[in-house]
Amino acid sequence: MDGQSGKTMRTLPDTLSSLKEFNKYLTPSWIESVSHIIKELTPTKPQKVMEDKGQNIFERDDAESDTKVARIQDEMVSLSAQLKEITLQKRESLNNYLDLKGSIRVFCRIRPLSHEQSYSSRTMFTLDESNVFLRVAETKRKQYKFDKVFDPSSTQGDVFSEVEPLIKSAIDGYNVCIFAYGQTGSGKTYTMEGKPTDLGVIPRGIQVLFDRASESNSRFLFTFSMLEIYMGNLRDLLVPGNKTNGFKNVPSLAIKTDPDGGIEIENLVAVTVNNFQEVKRLYGVGTRLRSTASTMANSTSSRSHCLIRISMTSFDAPERKKARNKLWMIDLGGSERLVKTKATGKRLKEGKAINLSLSALGDVIDALQTKKPHVPYRNSKLTQVLRDSLGCESKTLMLVHIRPNENDLCETVCTLGFATRVRSIRLESEESPDVKARKEQLLMELGQKVNDLEQECDDIRRKIKKLEDTMEHLKGPQLSVSTNIVISRPSTEELKINISKNVRSLKNHREVSSGLPRFMKPTAASRHRLGLNNNVPNINRSKPPVPPKRRPSSVYAESVRLPVNADTWQSECSSECSISMTSDINWTPSIQDGTEYSQDASEYEIKQVIFSEHETPSQGQVISFKEWQLAELENMQNKTEERGNIDIDNWIHQQILESNVTCQSKDLNVPEVTGDEISNIPSPIKSERAKDCNQAQDEESDLTLHAPPLNTKDIKQANAVNHFSRAELRSPPSRERCSNNETNKHMSESFAYHGRSRRSLQEKLDDCMLKQPNKEADLSTHAEIRSQEEEHHIGKLTKFFQALQIAWASVRLGLGTVSIGLGHDFFHSLML
Ligand SMILES: Nc1ncnc2c1ncn2[C@@H]1O[C@H](COP(=O)(O)OP(=O)(O)OP(=O)(O)O)[C@@H](O)[C@H]1O
């Protein structure tokens, strides 16, 4: 008897009993026959059924839940496939949309007038959605066409909504360049960086990147770099260098072309970033080192081009255009007529350099737009750096800024001229009205399609999430361990893992972990999150693969907890010739930037590495296609690692070491001395050191800005540590700067460095740094050493004389006391 008919038999007496209720409507003979049947059924059949139930209840429940789980898994697999398909369609549609709009687009933003500027200036402009009409004379108006015009009342949100498709395109694997162009004080930095209350394109864009990466089922690795082009030279803004000494102690950045035609910048620090908070912090440090100065037009005028590069690598997203691509966000130096600024000396040279490179950029974009056979990339460092991100399948957006001031009319005309040139009006004017109309229609359709597909993706994701929850409810949370093989974004540590080895039973994991030192085992929280606490059965590998479970964003390891500062993020360091302003931006973190479990998460990731290293793969194991794919991914990951990224932990670690050296030598290290960075690291000793630094500043009035030697070298050494190979895990994370053995010991604890609480290690490091005598650092020259030795001798002599004086005084005091005492009545009486 199958389950269904058994169930029917069990419920038959009940059914018949209920039928008896209808007796008033039925004939007596019918009732009698029904009663008879009930009598026969009740004593025998239900009893048997109950016995069966007692025996099989657990088996049946298991079977039922297994069937349900299998069904859910099937459904998830099919939904995942559907999601992939729709994502691909969406990428294509978005790409077509952007191509149709033009791979090089130009927007114009007109900044509002400040209070002191005359109201009449407004009449200079008339605007519509895509045109600016400039009154150049009483009766003459000049028209400038753009892809989009933002009037003075437009918000940061308005601007970003138009920029966002490009950011999405970057996630799809395209190289993207976003420029802010305009005269000094026209609002370039405002648009790109924004204000704490009104974030600009850079923070919003980065937030979108992380959001989309976490939504995606693919793994992403993000690295952050920041550099400036100052007077034709590249400078890494993530290496605290010597500004007054022209960054001489820092290795120069060299532009290299790789065999695939990609551009790499040799020696440029690329820090692996896992969330928005980390980027925010790096950005703050970079901004502080940027060359700015007070000019007639802007008190904090940018004297260089500032370039932010986010490199994205995805290992398992074949639908992406490229496995590795870049998003550049560039705040260009202010374009200005040197005659007007009346700049002289250094300011004049800076202005000339900015103008030259801007003109070279214009030439390149013009050549690309008009499809000239030769594109003059080599004419400036700016265009050389961006060579692989300008033109050929990449997307470019130029945000042109204007000041609607009558005094700035000439500047405005120049800016608009530049915009016209890069937008290639000539090409557009060749289009017939028919073509234009069709293009508009197509754009509308494509835009709608992209939105619909996005909506569909969201729906599928929601469904998958629901199924995951149901599954977790049915089977316990252990499945997340197996499905974490493919997470949204890998941490750098994970890149070293032979991912295929991670498809192992929980039992195996437990066995291996039991042999590990305590600090390498998962913490209670991570075990709980990953379901390791539950007694769960081994994963049945014959079951259909479960689609990847998205990792909660809080798991994106952030090893350093950064307090969210509600105050304006601003500090200032000035030197004799230029002012270096920090960013006053305060990027409010999103909910996704949770850091509560971050330490925990990174611990787990490290432990996973160790698990896999201890385990030996079984002999003759059949490698599935998926495993083969994973091995391929690993190859790719290794390639990426060879490029030399640096983890934010290592980077911050370096900054800490630098700050110690800086404090010891009483040099002012710009990012550290402000105390912002120090206060961000939750070590009590840190603040002590900050105090020391401040004292050093007070003591030495004419501080010079010296780059600590070997700084970049150390950072590069730290690159290697980031990737956690077995050998590397045993080697110290970076070159030791401490001379004493205790420090070296702590530095060598690379397991502890990555696996243990960062805070405790930090405190240890700080502690031993503080214990070190400052003497060594202070005695930088031979003369200083000699003078110190002399001082030492003088000190010894002085002490000797002091001791002698004290002894003599004591003797005299003793004698005096005796003579007084002997003459006293008390002694007289004693003697008598
Ligand atoms: N759209 C805007 N709304 C409000 N304030 C703005 C806007 N644009 C610019 N500003 C203000 O104008 C001032 C100058 O802007 P900003 O520093 O962004 O200019 P810039 O083009 O970057 O100048 P530079 O090239 O010299 O660095 C800032 O105080 C900024 O807050």
What is the whole-number distance in angstroms between the Cα of residue 188 and the centre of ligand 1?
A: 6
Rounded distance between C-alpha atoms, residue 237 and residue 128, angstroms = 39
Cβ–Cβ < 8 Å for 192, 286: no
What are 741's two structure tokens?
């053995």
Rounded distance between C-alpha atoms, residue 643 and residue 330, angstroms = 23
pLDDT for 657 equals 60
Query: 640 in ligand 1 pocket by Cβ < 6 Å?
Result: no
Residues ≥6 apart with Cβ < 8 Å to 270? 223, 224, 225, 309, 311, 643, 644, 645, 646
Rounded distance between C-alpha atoms, residue 509 and residue 188, angstroms = 53
SS3 566: coil
pLDDT at residue 588 above 80?
no
Query: 190 in ligand 1 pocket by Cβ < 6 Å?
Result: yes
Cβ–Cβ < 8 Å for 179, 396: yes
SS3 220: strand
DSSP letter for 551, please: P
State how far Cα 141 lies from the chain centre: 47
What is the whole-number distance in angstroms between the Cα of residue 247 and the centre of ligand 1?
A: 28
| Nearest atom, ligand 1, residue 190 CA | 18
Tens of pLDDT, residues 748-786: 333 233 333 333 334 443 443 344 444 444 444 444 545
Residues ≥6 apart with Cβ < 8 Å to 506? 478, 481, 532, 536, 538, 539
Q: How sure is the predictor about 631, in pLDDT bands with cuts at 50, 70 and 90?
A: very low
Over residues 593-616, mean pLDDT: 29
Query: Which residue of 154, 190, 411 sits with most ligand 1 atoms within 8 Å of its CB, as the best mutation to test the pocket?
Result: 190
What are 95's two structure tokens?
């790409």
Residue 579 pairs in a beta bridge with: 292, 574
Longest dimension (CA), the chain: 144
What is the whole-number distance in angstroms between the Cα of residue 112 and the centre of ligand 1?
A: 10
Residue 143 pairs in a beta bridge with: 133
Tens of pLDDT, residues 108-152: 999 887 765 555 555 677 888 888 888 877 777 888 888 899 988
Per DSSP, the residues of 513-540 read: HHTS-GGGSPPHHHHHHHTTTS--PPP-
Among the residue ranges 48-52, 228-232, 289-293, 441-445, the one predicted with the least confidence is 48-52
Query: 298 in ligand 1 pocket by Cβ < 6 Å?
Result: yes
Cβ–Cβ < 8 Å for 151, 127: yes
Query: 683 in ligand 1 pocket by Cβ < 6 Å?
Result: no
The residue ranking higher by pLDDT, 179 or 657, is: 179
How high is the mean pLDDT of the chain? 63
Cβ–Cβ < 8 Å for 158, 150: yes
Closest residue by Cα to atom 1, ligand 1, is 111
| Nearest atom, ligand 1, residue 331 CA | 22
| Nearest atom, ligand 1, residue 333 CA | 25
Rounded distance between C-alpha atoms, residue 438 and residue 126, angstroms = 28
Closest residue by Cα to atom 16, ligand 1, is 187
CA distances from 149 to 177, 384, 437 (A): 19, 29, 20
Query: 334 in ligand 1 pocket by Cβ < 6 Å?
Result: yes
Residues ≥6 apart with Cβ < 8 Å to 649? 559, 560, 753, 754, 758
Query: 200 in ligand 1 pocket by Cβ < 6 Å?
Result: no
Query: Which residue of 116, 179, 184, 189 sits with most ligand 1 atoms within 8 Å of its CB, as the best mutation to test the pocket?
Result: 189
As assigned by CATH, the class of the 102-237+290-430 domain is alpha beta
Query: 189 in ligand 1 pocket by Cβ < 6 Å?
Result: yes
Total number of residues shown for the chain: 832
Query: 112 in ligand 1 pocket by Cβ < 6 Å?
Result: yes
What are 769's two structure tokens?
């740094």
Q: How sure is the predictor about 261, in pLDDT bands with cuts at 50, 70 and 90?
A: confident
Q: How sure is the predictor about 720, in pLDDT bands with cuts at 50, 70 and 90?
A: very low
Q: What beta strand segments (E) does 292-447 contain?
A: 292-293, 301-302, 305-314, 324-331, 395-402
State how far Cα 592 lies from the chain centre: 12
Query: 391 in ligand 1 pocket by Cβ < 6 Å?
Result: no
| Nearest atom, ligand 1, residue 302 CA | 27
pLDDT at residue 182 above 80?
yes
pLDDT for 203 equals 95
Tens of pLDDT, residues 57-93: 556 667 777 787 888 888 888 888 888 888 888 878 8
Cβ–Cβ < 8 Å for 287, 279: no
Closest residue by Cα to atom 9, ligand 1, is 187
What is the whole-number distance in angstroms between the Cα of residue 208 and the centre of ligand 1?
A: 24
Question: Which of 669, 666, 675, 747 lies closest to 711, judged by CA?
Answer: 669
Closest residue by Cα to atom 2, ligand 1, is 111
